[in-house]
Amino acid sequence: MIFSLIMQGNMSRKLHARRIEGIDKNIWVEFSQLAADYKAVNLGQGFPDFSPPHFIQEAFCKALNGGFSKHQYTRAFGHPNLVKILAKFFSRIVGREIDPMEDILVSVGAYQALFCTFQALIDEGDEVIIVEPFFDCYQPMVMMAGGTTCLLDLRLKEGCGPVLSSADWVLSPEELASKFSPRTKAIVINTPNNPLGKVYQQEELHMIADLCIKHDVICISDEVYEWLTYDGTKHVKIASLPGMWERTVTIGSAGKTFSATGWKVGWAMGPGHILKHLKTVHQNSVYHCATAAQEAVAVGFQREYDVFGTEGSYFQQLPKHLHEKRLRLADCLKSVGLKPVLPQGGYFMIADISNLNVDLADPSTKDEPYDYRFVKWLIKEKGLATIPVSAFFSPEHKDEFQKYIRFCFVKNGMFCSYF
Ligand code: IK2
């Protein structure tokens, strides 16, 4: 009797911490499961349906067969071979000497690099500016760190033609400036952007950089799709602009870089005086990530360093390959009455579904945004999985963006077989 009362007492106690309240739903968990349950063709989640290049697969096998050390712990903040080549590679891109031991933290995918960044830099009462639409984890991560978010919209330019491009979505300089206040600790940008495919142009980056410098704000720049730009669009690292290296944390992903999303190797890169705080979070949470995968990524980057700028480079081959798929997907979508927005970069294409006027009768979804209901209908009735675009907006703005769904075009077989 006493035992059962104690048990009841324990069970009625509030178990969860306040910091996770309201963030229990996750778009990837929900829609990946639904796609699997209905055996749908999955154009939803951003992963390739093809293998990574041979050179990196071979490097992984070699690491696995290379003796005990590749199976054991390595340096906490990044396997030495990997941080050395990342530093060498990106020094050339950023135009400054990057210190492999001070300026880089290797993480469990870009996700964990983002998590370490917010945990390490954001405090109770700090405000973080996030540009909408945004990769969905930014807002919960800021909240979990105790901060608040201040949202800034990318807006559709006036006078756009009938065929939209992600370049038609722009920041208003006045609105951007108005978001900076004494409480602002950081701004998060994502270029090329997920889900829109927008690639920030030099002038836009300068505008953001000037405000960061003026207000002494950190820039968190998520560049996981940095090699994937199309039609001659150039990706520029904001950390390479004058005065920005000192205040920028750049996030990268080997998963996206080498089409190996399941390896979960990512990194944060920036000045040692900021990175040391991310390392504190990392050493007290994850400690380090898989040694063999890091070794393979190191070999991949060394190879890319050697062939950089040539046709043999995977960083040139992959966007070329995806460019064709992007055009093919746009044609497929137009052929069924959707209005695609041509992305300048990244893995994804969003499309306007309002032309279709589908009658969504399923009562179980009636309280959800239209795009969520539409995607559920598409999965269940048509066997095609995509992602509702309002998932990339804050709860405050979700309702305004219910007419788009997102397709991933990094697929060899999948969409060709569907459309
Ligand atoms: N940052 C951005 C902008 C991402 O898109 C991702 C991965 N997204 O993939 C899910 C999807 O949108 O379908 C990440 C960070 C995380 O990258 P990683 O896989 O390296 O942790």
pLDDT on residue 1 = 47
d(Cα 391, Cα 393) in Å, to the nearest integer? 5
Task: Judge whether residue 402 has pLDDT over 80.
Answer: yes
Q: Report how far ligand 1's centroid is from the alpha carbon of 12 (Å).
A: 37
Q: Is the CB–ligand 1 distance for residue 111 below 6 Å?
A: yes
Distance of CA 372 to the CA centre of its chain: 20
Is residue 106 within 6 Å of ligand 1 at its C-beta? no
- Residue 345 CB–ligand 1 contact under 6 Å: no
Percent of the chain having pLDDT more than 70? 96
Angle at 136 between CA 133 and CA 138, to 5 degrees: 95
- Most ligand 1 atoms within 8 A of CB, residue of 105, 132, 224, 267 to mutate: 224
Mean pLDDT of 203-210: 98
pLDDT of residue 95: 95
Query: Predicted confidence band at 355 (pLDDT cuts at 50, 70, 90)?
Result: confident
| Model confidence at 208: pLDDT above 70 | yes
Side-chain half-sphere exposure of 389, counting CA atoms within 13 A:
24
Residue 377 CA, ligand 1 centroid: distance in Å: 25
Question: pLDDT tens digits, residue range 337-353?
Answer: 999 999 999 999 999 99
**Closest ligand 1 atom to the C-alpha of 44?**
13
Q: Which atom of ligand 1 sits closest to the CA of residue 254?
A: 20
pLDDT above 70 (res 8): no
The pLDDT assigned to 120 comes to 98
Rg over alpha carbons for the chain, rounded to the nearest Å, is: 22
The confidence score (pLDDT) of residue 416 equals: 62
CATH code of domain 54-307: 3.40.640.10
Output b/e per residue, 129-159; b: 16+ Cβ within 10 A: bbbbbbbbbbbbbbbbbebebbbbbbeeeee
* Whole-number average pLDDT of the chain: 94
- Residue 367's pLDDT is 84
Domain at 18-51+314-418, CATH homologous superfamily:
Aspartate Aminotransferase, domain 1 (3.90.1150.10)
Domain with CATH 3.90.1150.10 in the chain: 18-51+314-418
30-41 tens-digit pLDDT: 999 999 999 999
Q: What pTM value is reported for the model?
A: 0.95
- Residue having the nearest C-alpha atom to atom 9 of ligand 1: 46
Contact between 340 and 351 under an 8 Å Cβ cutoff? The reply is yes
Q: Has residue 325 got a pLDDT over 50?
A: yes
Please say if the pLDDT value at position 327 is more than 50. yes
* Range(s) of the chain covered by CATH 3.40.640.10: 54-307
Assess whether pLDDT exceeds 90 at residue 358: no
The predicted structure's pLDDT at residue 418: 73
